[in-house]
Structure 1
Amino acid sequence: MVQSNGAVSRGGAAGTVPNGSTIVSLSGVGKKFESGTVALSDVDLCVARGEFLSLLGPSGCGKSTVLRLIAGLDRPTTGRIAWGGERRPRDIGFVFQEPTLMPWARVYDNVWLPLRLKGMSAREAEPRIVEALESVGLQDFHRAYPRELSGGMKMRVSIARALATDPTVLLMDEPFAALDEITRFKLNDDLLRLWKERGWTIIFVTHSVFESVYLSTRIAVMTSRPGRIAEEIAIDEPSPRSPNFRMSAHYADFARATSDALSRAMGGA
């Protein structure tokens, strides 16, 4: 693990859970697609309840595949995924890289969608939808169409849609990758605020060393395909974090150590 002095433990980190009970664990998980591509090999990872875990690695290393397996959208070829409550919870939220909004529907109806699919009427769902939109600062845009929103606002709608389901676990697949830096920083701060308020467990996929250090309580660094967990880095800084953290010596130390771990995972010196 990385401590405040920037020291990193090498070599795999399968399995220790920092400060909390395990909510989900992956043991020896591998994934081979019908095309013959081996996306994952022998992935061992434990996620603690309430932590913010980032998966960091090069393109094509299987980060998104890990999320899909945890969500139950696909099945591992080998290995086992176990939940602390024995069964996968039904209230898993998934925020994709693209907002994936229905262009013909207003913001309100886009947020209602997952609740409607669960059989919840508009009247039943209204308190949840209103609260979710207020949480992301879009209460005044509930009647807008996606075409009328900026990229950052569309992503807020996507987050609100996940929030409305009141998830135990929130899976996020590079949700801010396409946004400009100012918008990305603002949404990083909003996400940290919601994580603390809601008590979510978040598993977050990113290519950015700097984003992973700012957001995470722990970073799992993955190797190139077939992906596996090469190292884990604990970001031992209090939360919520202020923007001043990005300017601190600790942040620079963590970013340097994480970058070095990523280089090793990719076969660098």
Structure 2
Amino acid sequence: MSSAKTSPVVETGLTHLAVSLRGVTKVYDNGVIALGPLDLAVRKGEFISLLGPSGCGKSTALRIIAELSAPSSGTVRVARHEGVPQPGHGIGFVFQEPTLMPWTSVRENVRLPLKLAGLPKAEARARADEALASVGLADFAEAYPRELSGGMKMRVSLARALVTDPDILLMDEPFAALDEITRFRLNNDLLALWRSLRKTVIFVTHSVFESVYLSQRVVVMTARPGRIQADIRIETVEPRGEEFRTSAAYSDYCRKVSAALAPSYSGQSTL
């Protein structure tokens, strides 16, 4: 396998696809083959989940799409523009931890990407406030992270990812550490936000139930090195809500996804 590093191709001419991965692999310097070869196509405006066992390369795939890590081989095409964050173009990334700056306000945490991009302070402040309103935190702009619950911190992280108005939103297990009630509420809020903004969302999770509830497609990955085990389309009446979560269709899809995931866990390598 080639160890030559290649950079993702930033391509504005993709008509229907937001992201295209072809033959993508990731081999670390210690020889561990973390990913691939992986082939994945995500349509513009689509919400998909990457589901698989720990260490299968889900987060690695997100980092490659975001250009935070280079693939060892293969082709990555992302339909966005190069350069500093611009309205309507680019990638927003929500990490597993909120990673907020504790010494400054919620508004300033959200404004940071715009500040780094050199936007005038008044414009950046207005856009930060708009992003906070979109995640239900308009009244907490002056609060500090230490004053927020875990769920509220994650909302701030989401607002910070949205403040540049990205085309693509990458989410790496953002709700994994939250209690079940908070997680359900944020799942509902995320779906409402997606329906409103129609961003392309690639969501990493370990939860079968979360992946089925949120996604139009659940992409099940094998144990390391991660490849696609199954690609399951979730076809339901929209908009989804608690009726879907308690429906027979939801249970059927969860069983189908669990069955596709089972071989990945039975064959998972010991870390």
Q: State the match for 2:5 in structure 1.
A: none
CA apart distance, 1:267? 4.1
Residue 76 of structure 2 corresponds to residue 81 of structure 1: yes
Query: Aligned to 1:266, what secondary structure does the other structure show?
Result: helix
Q: Deviations over 1:21-54 (max 9, x none)?
A: 2111110110001121110121011001101010
SS in 2 for 1:81: strand
> Which position in structure 2 is the counterpart of 1:190?
189
Change (3 A) 1:145 1:69: same
Contact 2:80 2:90 in 1 (8 A): no
Q: Give matches, 1:217-236, under 5 Å.
A: 217-236=216-235
Separation of aligned partners in 2, 1:86 and 1:151: 33
Structure 1: which 4+ aligned runs deviate by more than 4 Å? Answer: 84-90
Residue 85 of structure 1: how far off its partner (Å): 5.8
Give the secondary-structure state (helix, strand or coil) at the position aligned to 2:257: helix
Relative to structure 1, the CA distance from residue 264 to residue 86 in structure 2 (aligned partners, 3 Å threshold; closer, same or farther) is farther
Moved more, 116-125 or 151-160: 116-125
Residue 179 of structure 1, CA deviation? 0.2
Is structure 2 residue 34 aligned with structure 1 residue 35? no
1:59 correspondence with 2:54: yes
- Counterpart of 1:120 in 2: which secondary structure? coil
Q: How far apart are the structure 1 equivalents of 2:91 and 2:80?
A: 13
What is the aligned partner in structure 2 of residue 210 from structure 1? Answer: 209
Q: CA deviation at 1:219?
A: 0.7
Letter in 1 for 2:74: G
| Deviation of 1:237 (Å) | 1.1
Q: Counterpart in 1 of 2:239?
A: 240
Q: Equivalent residue for 1:7? A: none
The offset of 1:135, in angstroms, is 1.0
C-alpha deviation, 1:84, in angstroms = 4.3
Partner of residue 44, structure 2: 49
Between 161-170 and 120-129, report the one with greater CA deviation. Answer: 120-129
CA–CA separation in structure 1 for the residues paired with 2:28 and 2:183? 33
Counterparts in 2 of 1:238 and 1:127: CA distance versus 1, 3 Å: farther
| Count of residues paired in the alignment | 249
Distance of 1:55 and 1:157 partners within structure 2: 23
> Which residues of structure 1 form unaligned runs of 5+?
1-19
Secondary structure of 1:102's counterpart equals: coil
Summarize deviations over 1:84-142 as a string: whole Å, max 9, x none: 46879952000001000001011010000011110113212122111111111111111
**Helix, strand or coil at the partner of 2:187:** helix
SS at match of 2:238: coil
**1:159-215 Cα distance to aligned partner (Å, 9 max, x none):** 111111101000000000000000000100110011111110000000000000000
Question: What does 1:87-166 correspond to in 2, within 5 Å?
Answer: 91-166=90-165
Structure 2 segments unaligned to the other structure (5+ residues): 1-14
Offset of 1:64 from its aligned partner?
0.2
Q: Which moved more, 1:131-140 or 1:203-212?
A: 131-140
- 1:210 partner amino acid: F
Inter-partner Cα distance in structure 2 for 1:32 and 1:87: 26
Is the CA contact 2:81–2:90 (under 8 Å) kept in the aligned structure 1? no
Distance 1:93 1:108 in 2: 17
| TM-score, normalised by the number of residues in structure 2 | 0.88
**Aligned partner letter, 2:117:** K
Q: Which has the higher contact order (CA 8 A, sep 6+)?
A: 1
Identity %: 61
Alpha-carbon distance between aligned partners in 1 of 2:153 and 2:125, rounded to the nearest angstrom: 20
Give RMSD over aligned pairs.
1.6
Cα distance in 2 between the residues matched to 1:82 and 1:130: 32
Pair 253,178 (structure 1): closer, same or farther in 2 beyond 3 Å: same
Distance across 2 between alignment mates of 1:170 and 1:85: 12
**Mean alpha-carbon deviation: is it higher for 83-92 or for 63-72?**
83-92
- Alignment deviations for residues 202-258 of structure 1 (CA, whole Å, 9 cap, x no partner): 000000000000000001100000111111000001332111111100000000000
